[in-house]
Structure 1
C-alpha cells in the first residue's frame, strides 16, 4: 500500500483515538465562510431508513430553513457509482453529492470521478476525528461487523469462524449487498488477512454448499431473524441495536479476530451541478445535532469529536481494545479488484 493510501485509510489507531469523545465547539469561527442560502441539492443515497434519517436529521432541521431544497436520488451503491462513471464526460452530472460506503468512496476517487475537497468550505470538518479527514470525502458514521445470533437458538459465538462454519448450514444468513465485507471476513478467517481473498472464496463456497442463506437487503435479513428462518449472521452493531429496539430476539457479540469496520460518507462528483450546495450538505452532516441524531436513531457512532450522552456513547461505540483490534478494509486492494470480486460473487457464489 502506498503512503498516500495509508493516509486515506481509517486506521485502527484513528478509531482508538475517536473513543475519547472529547467535546468540541460547534461554533463557526470568525473568518470561516458562510453558505449562500437557497438552491436545489440532489443527494444520491440508499433508500429505506438511511434516506429517512437524512431527511429527519439533516434536510429538514438544518438545510430546509436555510432555503435549500433537497432531492434524493435513491439507488444502491454499485448503481450510483456506475451512474457517476457513465456521466463523467458530461459538463453537468445529475447528482451534487453521493453517499457511499468507505471502499466505494476510495474507488470513485481513484477513478478520478470526485473532487478533492476544499476544507475551507467545510467549517465543521475541524471536528473530524483523526484520520477521518479524507481528501476525497467526508465520513459521516461508522460501526463494526459483529456476530448476530438468536440466544434461544444458539450459544453466543466468540469469533467470525463460529458463524462462517459449514456446520451452521442453512441456519446462517449473509447479505448480498455486503459482498465486499463478507469476502473480507471470510478471508480474515481462512487466510489471516482481509486481502487473502482466494482462501476467503474457498471458505465461502463451502458455506454455499452447506446451504447458507443469502438475502438481498438488510431488511430481508432482519425479517429472517424475526421469523427464525436463520439463527444468526454477521451484521453491523448499529443494525443490531435497531432490531433489538424493534423487538427482534437478537444479541450481538464482538468477534475475537477483530471487527471489520463499516464507514459511510459523502463525496462530490467533479461535474456536480451545485457544488456550493454539496459543500453545504457535507458541512451539515457534521453538525452536532445531526451526528447525535444518527447515533440515537440508527445506532452508528459519529465521525466527529462531538460529546454524546454517556449512555449513547457506550451503546453505539466499542471499547478501546475492540477498536484497536479492528481490521479495516484495504481500500486500494478492494478498489483495484472490485469488478473481479463482484463478478465472482454474482456468478460463482450466488450463481
Structure 2
C-alpha cells in the first residue's frame, strides 16, 4: 500500500517536532553493522550534490570506509535509466534522490525496494510526512512565488502572479521543475492542481509575453542575481539560500495554497550494494546532517531530533495560517500524467 500524506502529517513535517523519539532497537541487520564499500548515488548535482557531499558523505560515510560516487543528472534521465535497467540483476546505482512524487512513480512501476526500517538506527526519529513504504524524505519545503522586491511592486500575492504576461521577459520558469510549474498553473487557473489543461492556458500566455525558461535552479538564480528576471516559482528553502548568497529576492506564500515538497531517497530493487544504500539513508537522517542542511540550504529537517534556531525556522518555515493552506500533491495523478505533461512541456511550451 502506498502512503497518502494528509494535511495533518504535512503540518507535522513543516512544524519540525522537537521531541526525540526513542531509537529503534539495535539489529545486526542495520546499516551501521554492514561492511563498507562503494555507494553510487543518483542525484541532481549542483548545490544539492555539493551539500550532500559536505553534510552527509564526508562526515558520516567516508570515515566508515565508504567510497561515495555521485551519478549526477536531472531526475528524468535517471528515472529512464532505472526503467531501462529493470531486467538487469544488478543496476548501476545503489540509491536514487527523487521527489516524493517521483519515488511514488518508481514504486508504481515496480522498481522500488521496500524500505526495511529495522535496518536504520535513525528510523524512530523520522517524521510521518517523510516515511514511505518505498522511500524516505530527506528535506521538506513549500512552493512559493519568488521575486525581486526592488523590481516587482507591489509584491505578488498568488501563484497567478507568477504567470502574468505583464512581467514580460522578467518572468522565468525552470525546466527541471516542469511538474510543479504545471501543477501551480492549474491551481492558479482553476483552484485545482490537476486542472493542467486550464493551467496550460496561463503558461502559453506567459510564453507569448516573453517568459524565459532556465535549465536548472542554479541558472534561474543567476538570472535573478543579474536582474535578467525578477519573478518566478521556487521552493522557499531555495529563496533563503539565495538570500544568504546576497541575491535580492523575497518570497510569498500563495493565496491559492502552498504546494508541499518532499525530496528524499529510494533504493532500486536491483541496487548492487543495498547495505550501502541503508548506510547512506542513515547518514542523511543524522541530527547533524539535517541541522546543517537547514542552515546551508534552508530546507526543514525530516527528523524530530534536529534542532533549528527560531530565527532560522521563521525564515525557512511557514506561519500557522500559511500551514493551513499547505496542499499535498496527488502523487497518483502525477504518476499517471507525467509522461504527457513532459511531452507537452518539451514539444509545445519550450518549442
Cα shift readout 1:241-292 (whole Å, capped 9, x = no counterpart) = 1111111111111111111122111000000000111011111111101111
d(CA) in 2 for partners of 1:324, 1:237: 16
Map of 1:185 onto structure 2:
184
**Contact in 1 for aligned 2:238/2:298 (Cα 8 Å):** yes
Map of 2:300 onto structure 1:
301
d(CA) in 1 for partners of 2:236, 2:19: 24
2:145 to 136, 144, 147: 147
**Contact in 2 for aligned 1:146/1:253 (Cα 8 Å):** yes
Moved segments of 4+, more than 3 Å: 25-34
TM normalised by structure 2 equals: 0.95
**Contact in 2 for aligned 1:239/1:299 (Cα 8 Å):** yes
Alpha-carbon distance change, 113 to 177 in structure 1, aligned in 2, over 3 angstroms: same
d(CA) in 1 for partners of 2:114, 2:36: 24
Within a 5 Å distance, the mapping from 1:41-56 to structure 2 comes to 41-56=39-54
Map of 2:281 onto structure 1:
282
TM normalised by structure 1 equals: 0.95
Within a 5 Å distance, the mapping from 1:90-239 to structure 2 comes to 90-155=88-153, 156-239=155-238
d(CA) in 2 for partners of 1:28, 1:331: 29
Q: 3-state DSSP class of the match of 1:135?
A: coil
Of 28-37 and 159-168, more deviation after overlay is shown by 28-37
**Contact in 1 for aligned 2:186/2:196 (Cα 8 Å):** yes
Map of 1:334 onto structure 2:
334
1:14 to 4, 9, 15: 9
Q: 3-state DSSP class of the match of 1:234?
A: strand
Root-mean-square deviation (Å): 1.5
How far apart are 1:96 and its partner, in Å?
A: 0.3
d(CA) in 2 for partners of 1:174, 1:278: 33
Q: 3-state DSSP class of the match of 2:187?
A: helix
d(CA) in 1 for partners of 2:115, 2:6: 20
Q: 3-state DSSP class of the match of 2:141?
A: strand
Map of 2:267 onto structure 1:
268
Q: 3-state DSSP class of the match of 2:294?
A: helix
In structure 1, runs of 5+ residues without a counterpart are none
Map of 1:321 onto structure 2:
321
